Amino acid sequence: MSSDNRLVIEFDDHDLKQLQDIFHAARSELGEEIQEGQIIEACRELLGKAQQAGAPGFVMTRLERLQDLVAMIEDQDWQLPQEDASRVINALAYFANAQDLIPDDVPGLGYLDDAVMVDLVTRELAAEIKSYEDFRAFRSSEVQKRTAAGDERPVTRSDWLASQREKVQAERKSKSWLPWRRKSDSFLD
Protein backbone atom coordinates (compact mmCIF):
# COMPACT_ATOMS: atom_id res chain seq x y z
CA MET A 1 0.00 0.00 0.00
CA SER A 2 1.46 3.35 -0.96
CA SER A 3 1.60 6.14 1.59
CA ASP A 4 -0.79 8.15 -0.65
CA ASN A 5 -3.53 5.61 0.11
CA ARG A 6 -2.90 5.49 3.82
CA LEU A 7 -5.23 7.08 6.34
CA VAL A 8 -4.04 7.48 9.90
CA ILE A 9 -6.39 8.58 12.62
CA GLU A 10 -4.78 9.84 15.79
CA PHE A 11 -6.71 10.14 19.01
CA ASP A 12 -5.57 12.23 21.93
CA ASP A 13 -6.51 11.41 25.52
CA HIS A 14 -9.66 13.52 25.29
CA ASP A 15 -10.79 11.70 22.13
CA LEU A 16 -10.13 8.32 23.71
CA LYS A 17 -12.09 9.34 26.80
CA GLN A 18 -15.05 10.33 24.61
CA LEU A 19 -14.93 7.01 22.77
CA GLN A 20 -14.64 5.16 26.06
CA ASP A 21 -17.72 6.99 27.35
CA ILE A 22 -19.63 6.14 24.17
CA PHE A 23 -18.50 2.52 24.48
CA HIS A 24 -19.67 2.27 28.09
CA ALA A 25 -22.96 4.05 27.37
CA ALA A 26 -23.69 1.66 24.50
CA ARG A 27 -22.90 -1.29 26.75
CA SER A 28 -25.12 -0.03 29.58
CA GLU A 29 -28.01 0.62 27.16
CA LEU A 30 -28.09 -3.10 26.47
CA GLY A 31 -28.57 -3.84 30.15
CA GLU A 32 -27.35 -6.81 32.14
CA GLU A 33 -30.11 -9.10 30.89
CA ILE A 34 -28.58 -9.53 27.44
CA GLN A 35 -27.14 -13.00 27.12
CA GLU A 36 -23.70 -14.01 25.89
CA GLY A 37 -25.24 -15.87 22.95
CA GLN A 38 -27.16 -12.78 21.87
CA ILE A 39 -23.99 -10.69 21.93
CA ILE A 40 -22.08 -13.25 19.88
CA GLU A 41 -24.92 -13.54 17.37
CA ALA A 42 -25.07 -9.74 17.07
CA CYS A 43 -21.34 -9.66 16.26
CA ARG A 44 -21.86 -12.24 13.54
CA GLU A 45 -24.79 -10.27 12.15
CA LEU A 46 -22.75 -7.07 12.15
CA LEU A 47 -19.99 -8.76 10.19
CA GLY A 48 -22.48 -10.29 7.72
CA LYS A 49 -24.28 -6.98 7.18
CA ALA A 50 -20.98 -5.16 6.64
CA GLN A 51 -19.95 -7.76 4.06
CA GLN A 52 -23.30 -7.50 2.28
CA ALA A 53 -23.13 -3.70 2.32
CA GLY A 54 -19.71 -3.81 0.67
CA ALA A 55 -17.96 -2.00 3.52
CA PRO A 56 -14.49 -0.77 2.56
CA GLY A 57 -11.58 -3.19 2.92
CA PHE A 58 -9.95 -1.30 5.77
CA VAL A 59 -13.23 -1.56 7.70
CA MET A 60 -13.72 -5.24 6.93
CA THR A 61 -10.16 -6.06 7.98
CA ARG A 62 -10.93 -4.67 11.40
CA LEU A 63 -14.42 -6.09 11.73
CA GLU A 64 -13.12 -9.56 10.89
CA ARG A 65 -11.10 -9.42 14.12
CA LEU A 66 -14.43 -9.87 15.90
CA GLN A 67 -14.31 -13.50 14.72
CA ASP A 68 -11.19 -14.12 16.80
CA LEU A 69 -12.82 -12.63 19.88
CA VAL A 70 -15.92 -14.77 19.37
CA ALA A 71 -13.71 -17.83 18.84
CA MET A 72 -11.97 -17.14 22.16
CA ILE A 73 -15.33 -17.35 23.90
CA GLU A 74 -16.70 -20.36 22.03
CA ASP A 75 -13.56 -22.52 21.88
CA GLN A 76 -14.25 -25.44 24.22
CA ASP A 77 -10.56 -26.29 24.42
CA TRP A 78 -9.58 -22.75 25.42
CA GLN A 79 -12.12 -22.25 28.22
CA LEU A 80 -11.30 -18.75 29.36
CA PRO A 81 -11.57 -18.15 33.09
CA GLN A 82 -14.88 -16.42 33.90
CA GLU A 83 -13.23 -13.05 34.62
CA ASP A 84 -11.48 -13.03 31.22
CA ALA A 85 -14.57 -14.31 29.40
CA SER A 86 -16.66 -11.53 30.97
CA ARG A 87 -14.11 -8.98 29.83
CA VAL A 88 -14.28 -10.22 26.23
CA ILE A 89 -18.08 -10.42 26.26
CA ASN A 90 -18.31 -6.87 27.63
CA ALA A 91 -16.01 -5.73 24.83
CA LEU A 92 -18.19 -7.48 22.25
CA ALA A 93 -21.39 -6.04 23.73
CA TYR A 94 -20.78 -2.67 22.08
CA PHE A 95 -21.25 -4.34 18.72
CA ALA A 96 -24.63 -5.76 19.79
CA ASN A 97 -26.06 -2.26 20.23
CA ALA A 98 -27.88 -1.11 17.10
CA GLN A 99 -27.54 2.52 18.21
CA ASP A 100 -23.94 3.34 17.41
CA LEU A 101 -22.08 6.51 16.53
CA ILE A 102 -22.56 6.32 12.76
CA PRO A 103 -25.70 4.51 11.57
CA ASP A 104 -24.64 1.37 9.73
CA ASP A 105 -26.75 2.23 6.69
CA VAL A 106 -24.65 5.34 5.82
CA PRO A 107 -22.93 4.31 2.58
CA GLY A 108 -19.16 3.93 2.83
CA LEU A 109 -18.93 5.18 6.43
CA GLY A 110 -21.63 3.28 8.31
CA TYR A 111 -19.24 0.77 9.80
CA LEU A 112 -16.32 3.13 10.38
CA ASP A 113 -17.18 3.67 14.05
CA ASP A 114 -17.39 -0.10 14.51
CA ALA A 115 -13.96 -0.51 12.91
CA VAL A 116 -12.49 2.13 15.24
CA MET A 117 -14.05 0.41 18.25
CA VAL A 118 -12.68 -2.97 17.11
CA ASP A 119 -9.20 -1.43 16.98
CA LEU A 120 -9.60 -0.03 20.48
CA VAL A 121 -11.03 -3.27 21.86
CA THR A 122 -8.33 -5.44 20.30
CA ARG A 123 -5.67 -3.11 21.64
CA GLU A 124 -7.19 -3.43 25.11
CA LEU A 125 -7.41 -7.23 24.82
CA ALA A 126 -4.02 -7.66 23.11
CA ALA A 127 -2.61 -9.98 25.80
CA GLU A 128 -5.65 -12.26 25.68
CA ILE A 129 -5.61 -12.30 21.88
CA LYS A 130 -1.88 -13.10 21.75
CA SER A 131 -2.31 -15.92 24.26
CA TYR A 132 -5.18 -17.37 22.26
CA GLU A 133 -3.18 -17.16 19.02
CA ASP A 134 -0.27 -18.93 20.75
CA PHE A 135 -2.67 -21.57 22.03
CA ARG A 136 -4.10 -22.20 18.56
CA ALA A 137 -0.60 -22.63 17.10
CA PHE A 138 0.34 -24.94 19.99
CA ARG A 139 -2.88 -26.93 19.55
CA SER A 140 -2.30 -27.40 15.84
CA SER A 141 1.23 -28.68 16.42
CA GLU A 142 0.27 -30.80 19.43
CA VAL A 143 -2.67 -32.41 17.61
CA GLN A 144 -0.28 -33.55 14.87
CA LYS A 145 2.11 -35.01 17.46
CA ARG A 146 -0.66 -36.73 19.35
CA THR A 147 -2.29 -38.10 16.22
CA ALA A 148 1.04 -39.56 15.10
CA ALA A 149 1.35 -41.21 18.52
CA GLY A 150 -2.22 -42.53 18.41
CA ASP A 151 -3.34 -40.18 21.17
CA GLU A 152 -6.76 -38.71 20.44
CA ARG A 153 -7.18 -36.59 23.57
CA PRO A 154 -8.15 -32.98 22.87
CA VAL A 155 -5.50 -30.32 23.38
CA THR A 156 -6.70 -27.91 26.06
CA ARG A 157 -5.74 -24.64 27.65
CA SER A 158 -4.28 -26.66 30.55
CA ASP A 159 -1.95 -28.45 28.12
CA TRP A 160 -0.84 -25.11 26.68
CA LEU A 161 -0.29 -23.62 30.14
CA ALA A 162 1.79 -26.65 31.13
CA SER A 163 3.93 -26.21 28.00
CA GLN A 164 4.40 -22.52 28.84
CA ARG A 165 5.57 -23.44 32.35
CA GLU A 166 7.99 -26.00 30.91
CA LYS A 167 9.46 -23.36 28.61
CA VAL A 168 9.98 -20.96 31.51
CA GLN A 169 11.57 -23.68 33.65
CA ALA A 170 13.87 -24.75 30.81
CA GLU A 171 14.93 -21.16 30.31
CA ARG A 172 15.71 -20.78 34.01
CA LYS A 173 17.76 -23.99 34.01
CA SER A 174 19.78 -22.81 31.03
CA LYS A 175 20.93 -19.71 32.90
CA SER A 176 23.80 -20.14 35.26
CA TRP A 177 24.17 -18.34 38.55
CA LEU A 178 27.74 -17.69 37.49
CA PRO A 179 28.40 -14.27 35.94
CA TRP A 180 29.46 -15.81 32.63
CA ARG A 181 28.02 -18.52 30.44
CA ARG A 182 29.87 -21.80 30.44
CA LYS A 183 30.77 -23.42 27.18
CA SER A 184 31.33 -26.84 28.66
CA ASP A 185 30.40 -28.85 31.71
CA SER A 186 31.76 -27.61 34.98
CA PHE A 187 32.90 -29.50 38.06
CA LEU A 188 29.96 -27.67 39.75
CA ASP A 189 27.43 -29.66 37.74
| 35 inside domain | yes
Please give the model's pTM, rounded to 2 decimal places: 0.78
Give residue-wise pLDDT tens across range 94-121.
888 777 777 777 877 888 888 988 999 9
Domain containing 107 equals 11-131
CA–CA gap between residue 34 and residue 27 (Å, rounded): 10
Specify if 119 maps to a domain: yes
Tens digits of per-residue pLDDT, 35-92?
A: 889 999 999 999 999 999 989 898 999 999 999 999 999 999 998 889 989 889 988 9
Decide if 184 contacts 107 (C-beta within 8 A).
no
Query: Burial level of 19, CB count in 10 A (0-12/13-18/19+)?
Result: middle
Residue 109 lies in a domain: yes
With respect to residue 115, please indicate whether it lies within any of the assigned structural domains.
yes
Flag whether 39 is in a domain: yes
DSSP letters, 66-95, are HHHHHHHHH-TTT---HHHHHHHHHHHHGG
Is 150 part of a structural domain of the chain?
no
> Alpha-carbon distance 76 to 80, whole Å?
9
